[in-house]
Chain A
Amino acid sequence: MSDFLNALRAEIHGIFADRQVRLIILVALVIYALVYPYPYRAELLRDVPVVLVDLDRSTSSADLARQVTASEAVTLSHDAPDMVAAIRLVQERRAYGVLLIPEGFERALLRGSQSPVALYADASYFLMYQRVMQGAAVPLRQLGAEVEMGRLIAQGTAPDVAFAQVSPAALVEVPLFNPAAGYATYVLPAAFVLILQQTMLMGLALVATRREADNGHPVWRVLGRMGAWVALYALLLPVYLIVLPGLYGLPNLGNVPTVLMLSLPFVLATGLLAQCIAALFKRGEVVQVVLLAVGLPFFFLSGFAWPVEAIPPHLNWLAQIIPSTAAIDGLVRVSQMGAALPEIADRLWHLWALVAIFASLAVSVELLARPSTNADHQDG
């Protein structure tokens, strides 16, 4: 038991006495909390500028343009005489789409035949493309329905029958979570988990590379360190995953005990992984560079931003070794989607399995390192 307490004390000392580790575990956490969410503060994409190329110049085409501009998603900000000028505006990034109303638009409508319009949306930016398509397609469909209904009524169909015929069923779309489709609400809850993991890996791996040989049974030493991490992150993690999202105004449906239940194996698995990484790379500078580089790939591997359905199976299998993969999925489901413990039980077991695997690796590292440190002592 005294081995346990000694290791715990040594680890706490290792974290707080080292300026660089303090910098990473505490200061970097604060800086990232400020810098990382900064681009997404606006949350929503409104009134994306689109160029209008109106070759018809009729009452109907002006009507159509007005309806598109009235939508929340896009606004017809520029008028261009032809497609060449319009594309140039898009290439300059002053607009993200072109609405082309061809000559003879109104004539075709009045004649009762099909009268197509063309929409060119900038597909080099996914979100812009979606907004432009959505913003223009909805008013266009509405206008089309009005035209069709007008024709049916003119033929003598009763208005309510005409309405039902134009649109036999109402299609309602209900986003179950993040109803406003806010970008910060989408990406931050997952990003905070990853930031926590990366700073923790980096800081604790540095402690491990700089640790002097300590005595005691290897199992107690590892357990003692685990105790130190739990003590430290019992303070840091709730601030980062519960208070901070609150400060950014993110919705929180989760209950605190479930978040903590899931966080415990996450913290342990991450800390133990840091021991393995330190043993693998040995030098502090190398550990830091490696962990910096893997942050973004880890995020995409977690299957959050990039759906797991699109990740090749063997890579997905490898991704399961990283604690953030199960932790991001589980924690986002608990805090943003209100999942209860049974619904995320497999993530919880997954994280505990990682704890078991990394713990046995960390103890083996201790056992392997031990003879040499003992020899050092004898030499000294």
Chain B
Amino acid sequence: MLAVMLREFRLILRRPALLGLVIVLPVVMLLALTGIFRAGIPTGMAVTVVDLDRSELSRSVTRMLDAAPEITVREQALSLSEARAQIVAGDTRGAIYMPEGLERDIIRGARPEIVIFYDNQHMSAGSMVARGARGAIDTALAGQRLSIRQGQGEAPVQATARIQPIPLQAHALFNPAFDYVHFLLAALVPTVLQIIAAAATAYAISLDFGPGRHLQVLARMADGVLPAMLGKILPYTLIFLLILGLSDIALYGWLGVPLRGSLILMATGAALFVVSVQLIGAAAFVLTRDMGRAASIIAVITAPAFGFMGLGFPGEAMSQLAQAWGALIPGTWYVQLRIDQSLRETPLDISVWSVVWLACIALLLGALVLLRLIRLRREIEATR
């Protein structure tokens, strides 16, 4: 087996295609993902203000809007249709409409409307724009309410307490800095690695186990088909674990994503994750004995896997069947384990189940590959 492993390492160095797939490709992808999310939560998204009032109040609302970190007032429009066209064309992401007579009506107590329009087709950006605008307008209106109460002779402190009888103290649990970005990155890295590891393993195996290849030589070298397969797989396990480890050093060290859980559990999970993903690749190849078809199987399993992990749209809201399918994919459990052990500080007795499931998947896939290998060995013995 060792002999096959050593041969494989030499093979990787000799073959640019293999070297590119197992080292250059994952590293470039991880750098690209890090680049995309490095800057953090988007700020300064453009909005239009449709200010038909042009009063002291409407100008102060505009100033408040511009001061909100999420948004920047880039355009002033004279009508709603003009503002809408700017949103449709993508020049801005939202519009704030202040009707004529706003200040007068507020002073009169007529409760005029201020309207926030936002582009909810681009939901992630749109909801952030709406949140920023809402906060800014609330602040401006609170100032208005305060000045009314102070005008009635209330002390500022008292007035502040009075206008908010039940203040809400909001806490972002597990993620106090609301650093969603690096958290997303920590989940995307395994997702992309899952695709590459499965496909690259299948490709490497195809080079020796494919039709017309000299499997007998390899089997003799390793003293059996099974050790030959292990010798093919393990070098890549080491390489992918190394890449995962380096990216984690970057994530948790350089980018400062908190790591609050058990390192041993994380490492065990990582090893089981890489092995089971590789076994997907191996199984896809030994079942089809054709790299093209194997790649298609791998593509169907791993390419849409991100959606089933429940990071964007949560798993609990999915149908049972979608949840079950997600549970069969190693990445789902590994990403859950990473989130649990890095951010959520989940107690071990809960988190260990992710590792148990990963082990089950690995065993299942291992058994599948083994069964095919036993048949393959019979074929080889028959030809001898």
Contacts and interface: CB of A to CB of B under 8 A. Distances in A.
B76 interface: no
B183 interface: yes
A44 B308 CA distance: 16
> What band does the interface of chain B fall in when counting residues whose beta carbon is under 8 Å from A?
35 or more
Contact of A297 (B29, B199, B313, B346): B29
Interface stretch (A175-183, A270-278, A351-359, A363-371): A175-183
A375 interface: no
A167 B111 contact: yes
B114 A172 contact: yes
Contacts of A173: 115-116, 118, 130, 134
Given A164-B111, A293-B29, A296-B191, A177 B39 contact: no
Contacts of B313: 39-40, 42, 45, 127, 183, 187
Nearest to B308: A39
Interface string A116-127: 111111111111
Interface string B11-40: 000000100110001100100110111111
A35 B165 contact: no
B196 A39 contact: no
B339 to A, nearest CB: 6
A163 B110 CA distance: 10
B73 to A, nearest CB: 15
A210 to B, nearest CB: 11
A296 B192 contact: yes
Interface in A129-155: 129-130, 133, 136-137, 140-141, 143-144, 147-148, 151
Interface string B282-296: 000000000111011
Given A39-B313, A337-B88, A20 B293 contact: yes
B262 interface: no
Contacts of B307: 36, 38-40
> What band does the interface of chain A fall in when counting residues whose beta carbon is under 8 Å from B?
35 or more
Given A119-B169, A140-B166, A343-B85, A181 B120 contact: yes
Interface string A172-202: 1111111101010111000000000000000
Contact of B33 (A170, A171, A179, A300): A300
A103 interface: no
B126 interface: yes
A339 interface: yes
A306 interface: yes
B51 interface: no
Nearest to B18: A286
Nearest to A145: B165
A173 B93 CA distance: 14
Contacts of B130: 173, 175
A300 B87 CA distance: 21
A98 interface: yes
A31 B112 contact: no
A174 B115 contact: yes
Given A176-B84, A329-B90, A124 B183 contact: yes
A44 B316 CA distance: 11
B343 interface: yes
A376 interface: no
B240 interface: no
Interface stretch (B173-181, B217-225, B248-256, B374-382): B173-181
B169 A116 contact: yes
Given A177-B119, A337-B121, A114 B167 contact: yes
Contacts of B88: 333, 337-339, 343
A256 interface: no
Contacts of B191: 296
A174 B304 contact: no
Contacts of A36: 304, 307
Which applies to chain A's interface (DSSP): helix, strand, loop or mixed?
A: helix
A297 B127 contact: no
B287 to A, nearest CB: 15
A32 interface: yes
A6 interface: no
A309 B299 contact: no
Contact of A93 (B163, B169, B171, B316): B316
Contact of A307 (B114, B122, B148): B122
Contact of A315 (B21, B36, B141, B308): B36
**Residue of A151, A173, A300 ringed by the most chain B CB atoms within 10 A:** A173
A32 B343 CA distance: 32
Contacts of A286: 17, 20-21, 203
A66 to B, nearest CB: 14
B168 A297 contact: no
Contacts of A144: 164-167
**Residue of B126, B162, B295 ringed by the most chain A CB atoms within 10 A:** B295
B175 A124 contact: yes
Nearest to B299: A292
A1 interface: no
Contacts of A284: 292
A230 interface: no
A339 B196 CA distance: 38
Contact of A168 (B44, B106, B310, B344): B106
B325 interface: yes
B264 interface: no
Contacts of A293: 25-26, 29, 192, 195-196, 199
Contact of B310 (A39, A98, A176, A315): A39
Interface in B70-127: 84-85, 87-90, 93, 102, 106, 109-127
Contacts of B25: 289-290, 293
B303 A295 contact: yes
A235 interface: no
A148 B121 contact: no
B330 interface: no
Nearest to A283: B17
A17 interface: no
A130 B90 CA distance: 24
Given A147-B165, A165-B145, A332-B121, A292 B172 contact: no
Interface of B: 17, 20-21, 25-26, 29, 32-33, 35-45, 84-85, 87-90, 93, 102, 106, 109-128, 130, 134, 137-138, 141, 144-145, 148-149, 161-176, 178, 180-181, 183-184, 188, 191-192, 195-196, 199-200, 203, 206, 291-293, 295-296, 298-300, 302-304, 306-308, 310-319, 321-322, 325-326, 339-340, 343-347, 350
Given A177-B120, A315-B36, 5 more contacts: A114-B164, A136-B168, A285-B291, A301-B36, A343-B89
18 contacts: A161-B109, A168-B106, A168-B144, A172-B114, A173-B130, A174-B118, A176-B84, A181-B123, A183-B123, A186-B121, A288-B199, A290-B21, A292-B302, A293-B195, A296-B191, A296-B303, A333-B90, A344-B89
Going nearest first, the 8 A-B pairs with the smallest beta carbon separation are A164-B109, A175-B120, A123-B172, A310-B42, A123-B175, A20-B292, A177-B121, A307-B125
